[in-house]
C-alpha cells in the first residue's frame, strides 16, 4: 500500500510540474502601456480637413541648422506669405532676413533675445501656420501652444520625445481641430515614393517585413548643435531617440493606422563607448553615466502579422543609411547600400517588361529594368514636382516636396499627407525602446494612438 501511495504521489508531482512548465511556456511577459481615455467631447482627426487658406501666412521658430533653408524653400512655393521669424539668437534672425531680401520677399517681423519670444509669434492673429525647427526638447511645447492659439503646426523631427508629450499633442489637435504635422522629409524621397506607388499597385505582393534606420556618423556635426544639446540628450536618455526617418517610410508601406496597427516592440542596445569618448575629448571629463548605447535595434510586430526592424547609430564610422527595405511575397526593394528591386519572374513580370524571362528571384533586376520600373511607376507627386524640387533643393529636393505638399493641402482644404497619429507612432520609440531595454529587452505594447480607429481607413492615400 505504501509503495502504491509513493507511486501515486510521484506521478501527481510530475503532473503538477509538467502543468506548471506548460503554463510558463505559454505565458508572455509583456509590459502594457496604458491608453488614456479620449477627453469628453473630442473625436479623432483621421483625414482631418480645415477651411481653405488662399494665402498661408507663416511664422518660423528656430533659425539654426534647419530653419533658414525652410524659409528659403517657402519663397519658391505659391500661396505663401512669411509673416514672422523667431530665434533666441538675433544674428540667426538677421541671417534669415537676408534670405528674404535675396529672394525678393519683404522682411518679416522679428522675435528674438528671449526664451519666450516664440510665444509672441504664436499669439499673433495674422498667422495661419507655425513652422517649428528648434532643438527637439522644445518641439511639443511650442506645437501645443501654437495650436491652442489657433494655428496649424508643422514641426521638425522628432516632434515629441515622451508619451506624455505625444498624448498632449494628440489631444490638442483633436480639441482644436488644427493640423499637427511632423516634418518627416524622408517619405518624399524619389525612391521611397516610387517604391510606395509600386507597393500600392501590388507589384511586391503582400508586404510582410520592412526595415528602416538612422545610421549617420555625427562626429563632424556635434559642435554645430546649439549648447551641445543633441549630444547631451544622448548622454541622458537611452533608446532609439531618432527613429522617424526609418519609421516614416516603413509605416507608410504597411498602412499603419490605415488598416493595420503596431502591437508591440522589443529593443536592445550595445554598451555606450563612443559617446563618453567624445565628451572626454571635448572636456577631459570621464563620463560614467552616458545612457545611450552606440547602436540600438528595435523589432516591431503588427496586428496583421507584419514585422518592422528599426536601427539607430549616430556614433560609429559607417556609411550613411536609412536602410529602406521591404520584403513582399512577390518582390523585394532596397535602397542602402545598393538601390534596386528583386521580382519574381512570374506572374507579374509580363506587366513590367518584355524581358521578364531574364528576371530572377535571387538577384536585383538589371539597371535597364530598374530604370523602366521607376519611370513607369513614378509617383504622381514626383511627376508634378520633380523638376522644380531638384532646382530648389533640400536633401535633393525631398524637403521642397514636403513643404509644397503641406502648403498645397492647406490651400485646398485637404487632409495632410501625415497626421498627428503618424507623428505619435513614429516618435513613440523614444520612450518605448527605453522601457524595453531597461527591462532586459522585454516586449512592450505600442498604444493605439487613434484610440480604436486604426482601421477607419483601409490604405494610405495622398489627397489631391
* Contact assessment for residue 297 and residue 268, using Cβ atoms and an 8 Å cutoff: yes
C-alpha cell at 327: 520584403
Q: Give the span between the Cα atoms of 11 and 1, in whole angstroms.
A: 16
Assigned C-alpha cell, 70: 525652410
**pLDDT, tens only, 144-162:** 999 999 999 999 999 999 9
Structure confidence at residue 90 (pLDDT)? 97
The residues with which 321 forms a beta bridge, in sequence order, are 215
The top-level CATH class assigned to 56-183 is alpha beta
Pairing type for strands 56-61 and 80-87 reads parallel
- Residue 261, pLDDT score: 98
CA-nearest of 437, 158, 427, 443 to 293 is 437
- For residue 347, cis peptide bond before it (omega within 30 degrees of 0): yes
C-alpha cell, 136: 527637439
Burial label, 239 (beta-carbon count in 10 A; 0-12, 13-18, 19+): buried
| Fold adopted by 187-379+419-445 | Dihydrodipicolinate Reductase; domain 2 (3.30.360)
Reported as a single tens digit per residue, the pLDDT across 193-208 is 999 999 999 999 999 9
The pLDDT of residue 350 is 55
Whether residue 406 contacts residue 416, with contact meaning beta carbons closer than 8 Å, is answered with: yes
* CA–CA separation, 163 and 144 (whole Å): 14
Stretch(es) of the chain classified as CATH 3.30.360.10: 187-379+419-445
Give the closest residue to 125 by CA, choosing from 160, 163, 151, 103: 151
Give the length of the chain: 464
Count the Cβ atoms, other than its own, within 10 Å of residue 198. Answer: 24
Rounded to the nearest 10°, the torsion over CA 244, 144, 451, 422 is -20
What distance, in Å, lies between the first and last C-alpha atoms of the chain?
Answer: 86
Q: Where in the chain is the domain with CATH 3.40.50.720?
A: 56-183
Phi, psi of 110 (to 5 degrees): -100, 140
Cα 94 to Cα 79: distance, rounded to the nearest angstrom: 24
| pLDDT tens-place values along the chain, 464 residues long | 555 555 555 555 555 555 555 544 445 689 999 999 999 999 999 999 999 999 999 999 999 999 999 999 999 999 999 999 999 999 999 999 999 999 999 999 999 999 999 999 999 999 999 999 999 999 999 999 999 999 999 999 999 999 999 999 999 999 999 999 999 999 999 999 999 999 999 999 999 999 999 999 999 999 889 899 999 999 999 999 999 999 999 999 999 999 999 999 999 999 999 999 999 999 999 999 999 999 999 999 999 999 999 999 999 999 999 999 999 999 999 999 999 999 988 645 555 555 555 666 778 999 999 999 999 999 999 999 999 999 999 999 999 999 999 999 999 999 999 999 999 999 999 999 999 999 999 999 999 999 999 999 999 999 99
Amino acid at each position: 500500500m505504501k509503495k502504491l501511495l509513493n507511486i501515486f504521489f510521484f506521478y501527481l508531482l510530475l503532473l503538477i510540474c509538467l502543468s506548471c512548465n506548460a503554463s510558463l511556456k505559454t505565458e508572455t511577459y509583456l509590459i502594457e502601456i496604458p491608453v488614456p481615455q479620449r477627453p469628453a467631447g473630442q473625436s479623432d482627426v483621421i483625414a482631418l480637413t480645415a477651411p481653405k487658406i488662399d494665402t498661408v501666412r507663416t511664422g518660423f521658430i528656430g533659425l539654426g541648422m534647419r530653419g533658414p533653408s525652410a524659409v528659403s524653400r517657402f519663397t519658391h512655393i505659391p500661396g505663401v506669405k512669411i509673416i514672422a521669424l523667431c530665434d533666441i539668437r538675433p544674428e540667426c534672425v538677421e541671417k534669415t532676413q537676408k534670405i528674404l531680401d535675396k529672394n525678393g520677399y519683404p522682411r518679416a517681423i522679428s522675435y528674438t533675445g528671449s526664451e519666450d519670444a516664440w510665444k509672441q509669434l504664436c499669439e499673433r492673429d495674422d498667422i495661419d501656420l507655425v513652422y517649428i525647427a528648434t532643438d527637439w526638447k522644445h518641439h511639443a511645447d511650442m506645437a501645443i501652444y501654437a495650436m491652442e492659439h489657433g494655428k496649424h503646426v508643422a514641426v521638425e523631427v522628432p516632434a515629441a520625445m515622451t508619451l506624455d508629450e505625444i498624448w498632449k499633442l494628440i489631444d490638442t489637435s483633436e480639441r482644436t481641430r488644427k493640423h499637427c504635422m511632423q516634418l518627416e522629409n524622408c517619405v518624399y524621397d524619389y525612391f521611397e515614393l516610387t517604391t510606395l506607388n509600386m507597393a500600392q499597385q501590388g507589384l511586391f505582393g503582400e508586404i510582410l517585413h520592412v526595415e528602416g534606420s538612422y545610421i549617420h556618423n555625427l562626429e563632424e556635426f556635434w559642435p554645430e548643435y546649439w549648447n551641445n544639446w543633441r549630444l547631451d540628450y544622448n548622454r541622458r536618455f537611452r533608446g532609439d531617440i531618432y527613429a522617424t526617418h526609418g519609421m516614416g517610410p516603413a509605416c507608410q508601406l504597411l498602412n499603419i493606422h490605415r488598416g493595420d496597427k503596431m502591437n508591440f516592440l522589443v529593443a536592445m542596445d550595445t554598451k555606450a563607448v563612443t559617446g563618453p569618448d567624445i565628451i572626454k575629448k571635448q572636456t577631459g571629463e570621464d563620463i560614467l553615466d552616458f545612457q545611450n548605447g552606440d547602436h540600438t535595434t528595435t523589432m516591431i510586430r503588427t496586428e496583421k502579422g507584419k514585422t518592422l526592424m528599426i536601427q539607430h547609430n549616430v556614433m560609429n564610422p559607417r556609411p550613411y543609411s536609412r536602410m529602406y527595405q521591404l520584403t513582399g511575397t512577390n518582390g523585394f526593394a532596397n535602397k542602402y547600400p545598393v538601390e534596386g528591386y528583386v521580382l519574381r519572374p512570374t506572374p507579374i513580370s509580363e506587366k513590367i517588361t518584355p524581358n521578364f524571362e531574364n528576371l530572377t528571384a535571387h538577384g536585383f533586376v538589371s539597371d535597364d529594368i530598374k530604370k523602366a520600373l521607376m519611370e513607369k511607376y513614378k509617383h504622381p507627386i514626383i511627376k508634378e514636382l520633380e523638376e522644380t524640387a531638384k532646382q530648389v533643393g533640400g536633401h535633393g529636393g525631398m524637403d521642397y516636396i514636403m513643404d509644397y505638399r503641406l502648403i498645397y493641402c492647406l490651400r485646398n482644404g485637404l487632409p495632410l499627407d501625415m497626421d498627428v497619429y503618424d507623428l505619435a507612432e513614429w516618435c513613440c520609440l523614444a520612450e518605448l525602446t527605453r522601457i524595453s531595454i531597461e527591462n532586459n529587452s522585454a516586449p512592450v505594447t505600442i498604444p493605439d494612438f487613434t484610440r480604436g480607429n486604426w482601421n477607419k481607413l483601409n490604405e494610405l492615400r495622398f489627397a489631391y
